[in-house]
């Protein structure tokens, strides 16, 4: 399938303001006009299962919000990145038989894409059309700075604004100390310490999450608990962490989009064991301090090894740039380059296959 190509004629609507709490905007409304004229209904995907999904829409009859099960087969795509995902805006044919179908997906504003698990170069979309990415990190153990940097690169790459949320602040005495430490590796990013247990920091967090928010992080980081705290109800099931290793039991298996009382939605994602980067510029944003240093190197193509006038080496030498952070940057950069070359090869193979199919369907060339 391909994303719907949409013209931009203006329109007015009476019912779709119901969806504004779910992120529906006048701009989307305008994009949707030709689809509305074709009898389709706008809907936000709240959960995806194999071949089907739950969508939230304003009922064309009553104008009330309704969750509907819809068939996603018409928008199936060989590239997993183009397949429907929680947070996508969809055009739904409610009259389709035997069940409503998703007829098209609207172009995405933002999307969190990680490298698919198991060494494949496919991407996997975790959430679409989000404004803020909350990176949940448990304070129950010493935070792994390298892992936070990796999550930050993934979050920046999505196009949404990252926020680091240090969870379970009630379990430690020095939350502020750790928070300041993490702030040092997250240039331009808000870092909050929060406890769902005592409520500490939850109001501040709420103020940081207007519009659509997605929660990412390792299993057991406290994502579902935070979702419940933000939603003010038990929207997600939370299971006890295994006491031995502080790991959760992978309670959250399907992504879900939950409306917040003050407007906006939060998308809880399953715990991520592996967070492979899927290329792009997010890494440069996550390491903007190093990128800025590099701009002061004497040579434009400085490799930051032993070149004269290297600002990065100087910062490493005087300790303003920790070696750990530099190593982390180089490691993620290698990984990013690898995935970029892998996906180039994959795209080339796909193009070749398509070309062969086109030639075949065109039949023998006539003299």
Binding site for ligand GTP (CB under 6 A): 167-168, 170-171, 195-197, 217, 219-225, 238-241, 248, 250-252, 270-271
57 binds Zn ion (CB under 5 A): no
Residue 302 in the binding site for Zn ion (CB under 5 A)? yes
304 binds Zn ion per the rule CB under 5 A:
yes
Closer residue to Zn ion, CB minimum distance, 150 or 304? 304
Return the number of other C-beta atoms located less than 10 Å from residue 293's C-beta: 21
Dihedral sign, CA of 190, 149, 329, 153? negative
What single DSSP character describes residue 242? P
* 302 marked among binding-site residues: yes
* Those residues with Cβ within 8 angstroms of residue 350's Cβ, 6 or more apart along the chain or in another chain: 78, 79
Burial 179-208 (b: 16+ CB within 10 A, else e): beebeebbeebbbbbbbbeeebbbeebbeb
With CB under 5 to 8 Å by kind, the binding choice for 223 among Zn ion, ligand GTP, none is ligand GTP
The CA distance from 253 to 207, in Å, is: 27
CA distance 130 to 323: 33
Pick the binder of Zn ion from 169, 265, 310, 315 (CB under 5 A).
310
Using only the alpha carbons of the chain, give its radius of gyration: 23
Closest CB 322 distance from ligand GTP, rounded Å: 28
**Quick check: 315 binds Zn ion (CB under 5 A)?**
no
Is 217 a known ligand-binding residue? yes
What count of Cα atoms within 13 Å lies in the side-chain half-sphere of residue 221?
27
List the interface residues with Zn ion, window 167-196 (CB under 5 A). Answer: none
Element of type H or E holding 70: strand 65-71
Q: In Å, what is the CA distance from 309 to each residue of 295, 298, 312, 315, 321?
A: 11, 5, 9, 11, 16
Beta bridge partners of 54: 47, 69
Shortest Cβ distance from residue 300 to Zn ion (Å)?
10
224 known member of a binding site? yes
Smallest separation, CB 305 to Zn ion (Å) = 8
State the binding partner of 225 from Zn ion, ligand GTP, none, CB within 5 to 8 A by kind.
Answer: ligand GTP
Please name the helix (run of DSSP H) or strand (run of DSSP E) that holds residue 345, with its range, or none: helix 323-362
Binding mask 279-298 for Zn ion (x = CB under 5 A): ------------------x-
Compute the least distance from the CB of residue 298 to Zn ion, in Å.
8
Whichever of 109 and 248 has its CB closer to ligand GTP, that residue is 248
Contacted by 335, from ligand GTP, Zn ion, none: CB < 5 to 8 Å by type: none
Report how far residue 144's alpha carbon sits from residue 30's, in angstroms, rounded to the nearest whole number. 44
Q: How far apart are CA 85 and CA 77, in angstroms?
A: 12
- Contact partner at residue 312 from Zn ion, ligand GTP, none, CB < 5 to 8 Å by partner kind: Zn ion
Task: Identify the bridge partners of residue 212 per DSSP, sorted by sequence position.
Answer: 265
Gap between the Cα atoms of 144 and 297, Å rounded: 30
Taking the least distance from each CB to ligand GTP, the nearer of 177 and 355 is: 177
Confirm whether residue 219 is marked as ligand binding: yes
Looking at beta carbons only, is 115 or 304 nearer to Zn ion? 304
Q: Which is nearer to ligand GTP, 168 or 304 (CB)?
A: 168
Residue 224 binds which entry of Zn ion, ligand GTP, none, CB below 5-8 Å type-dependent: ligand GTP
Residue 119 marked ligand-binding: no
Residue nearest to ligand GTP (CB): 271
Q: Is 297 marked within a binding site?
A: yes
Q: How far is the CB of 6 from ligand GTP (least distance, A)?
A: 35
Among 312, 321, 326, 332, indicate the residue that binds Zn ion (CB under 5 A). Answer: 312
**Closest Cα partner for 254 from 79, 67, 53?**
53
316 touches Zn ion (CB under 5 A): no
Helix (H) or strand (E) holding 281: none
Binding positions for GTP are 167-170, 217-225
Binding positions for Zn(2+) are 297, 302, 304, 310
């Amino acid at each position: 399938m391909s994303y719907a190509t949409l013209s931009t004629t203006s329109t007015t609507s009476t019912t779709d303001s119901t969806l504004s709490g779910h992120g529906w905007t006048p701009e989307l409304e305008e994009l949707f006009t030709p689809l509305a004229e074709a009898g389709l209904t706008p809907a936000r995907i709240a959960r995806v299962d194999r071949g089907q999904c739950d969508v939230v829409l304003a009922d064309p009859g009553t104008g009330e919000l309704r969750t509907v099960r819809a068939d996603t087969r018409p928008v199936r795509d060989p590239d997993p990145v183009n397949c429907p995902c929680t947070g996508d805006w969809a055009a739904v044919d409610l009259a389709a038989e035997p069940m409503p179908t998703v007829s098209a997906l609207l172009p995405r504003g933002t999307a969190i894409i990680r490298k698919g698990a198991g060494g494949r170069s496919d991407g996997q979309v975790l959430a679409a059309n989000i404004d803020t990415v909350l990176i949940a990190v448990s304070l129950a153990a010493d935070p792994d700075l390298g892992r936070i940097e990796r999550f930050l690169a993934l979050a920046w790459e999505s196009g949404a604004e990252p926020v680091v949320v240090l969870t379970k602040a009630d379990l430690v005495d020095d939350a502020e100390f750790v928070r300041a430490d993490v702030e040092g590796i997250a240039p331009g990013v808000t870092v909050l310490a929060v406890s769902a247990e005592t409520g500490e920091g939850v109001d501040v967090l709420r103020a940081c999450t207007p519009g659509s928010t997605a929660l990412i992080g390792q299993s057991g980081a406290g994502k579902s608990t935070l979702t419940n705290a933000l939603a003010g109800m038990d929207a997600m099931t939370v299971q006890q962490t295994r006491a031995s290793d502080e790991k959760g039991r992978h309670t959250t298996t399907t992504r879900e989009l939950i409306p917040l009382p003050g407007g906006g939605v939060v998308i809880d994602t399953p715990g991520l064991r592996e967070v492979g980067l899927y290329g792009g510029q997010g890494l440069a944003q996550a390491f903007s301090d190093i990128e800025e240093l590099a701009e002061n190197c004497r040579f434009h193509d400085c490799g930051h090894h032993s070149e004269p006038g290297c600002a990065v080496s100087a910062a490493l030498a005087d300790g303003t740039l920790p070696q750990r952070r530099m190593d982390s940057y180089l490691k993620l950069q290698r990984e990013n380059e690898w995935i970029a070359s892998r996906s180039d090869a994959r795209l080339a193979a796909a193009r070749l296959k398509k070309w062969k199919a086109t030639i075949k369907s065109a039949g023998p060339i006539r003299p």
